[in-house]
Amino acid sequence: MLDAPLRRWLDPLTDRLATGLVACGLRADAITWAGFVVGVAAWVALAWTVYPLALVLIALNRVMDGLDGAVARQLGPTDVGGYLDIVLDFFFYAGVPFFFAVGRPEVALPAAFLIFSFVGTGSSFLAYAIFAAKRGLTTQRQGTKSFYYLGGLIEGTETIVFFLAICLFPQRFAVLAWVFGGLCWLTALGRVGAAVVAFRETHP
């Protein structure tokens, strides 16, 4: 919900940073992989309940996720880069509640519900992109992307805020997870409804 408005002032900043990274010879794929390694380190911090460190690493992972896209826009996006970006993002997202529960097993049930809800948002998001590509649909609402990016109530910005919130208030994880997971399912249902309307015809 907040991704598109935030991009209007974040993109100029990330584009300037990307210019410096490109000048240093860095490529988007390298930043994507480095960001994922930082994300894995955040998982370890969550498993060991070192929440201040986890917060910093999660924030850094998300910054690097924005930078790889900015670098890709300057050097030219590739299918491999787009694929790695989305796959590693979904790995990272699912890992956060899982490794939080590793550190605090008493919240395993809400953590499992959260991962369940991520399957709903992720599958409805990616399935829409597949059929949008089949029909030649495009959108610039979220900027230049490797595939059709369907928005919703819960997007990347809201997910980042949630991840930072569970690091700041780990004792509230269960409540936050139930509420956020419910909002994720509202997002998934909204995307399913949008798909039914957009793809109602049998043939594109």
| CA–CA gap between residue 174 and residue 177 (Å, rounded) | 5
**CA-based nearest residue to 124, from 36, 196, 176:** 196
**CA-based nearest residue to 187, from 122, 142, 141:** 122
Query: What's the full length of the chain, in residues?
Result: 204
- CATH number for the domain that contains residue 115: 1.20.120.1760
Is 82:146 a contact under the CB 8 Å cutoff?
A: yes
Dump pLDDT digits (tens) for 170-192: 999 999 999 999 999 999 999 89
Output the pTM of the full model.
Answer: 0.85
Dump pLDDT digits (tens) for 33-73: 999 999 999 999 999 999 999 999 999 999 998 888 888 88
Domain that holds residue 40: 3-198
Number of domains in the chain: 1
Query: In this structure, what are the phi and psi dihedrals at residue 188, rounded to the nearest 5 degrees?
Result: -60, -45
166: pLDDT strictly greater than 60: yes
CA dihedral 133, 12, 34, 90 (to 10 degrees): -40
Look up tokens 């590739």; give the residue.
78
Residue at 61 is within a domain: yes
| CA–CA gap between residue 50 and residue 43 (Å, rounded) | 10
Q: Which helix (H) or strand (E) holds 155?
A: none
Residue at 203 is within a domain: no
- Supply the pLDDT for residue 117: 96
Residue at 204 is within a domain: no
Residue at 99 is within a domain: yes
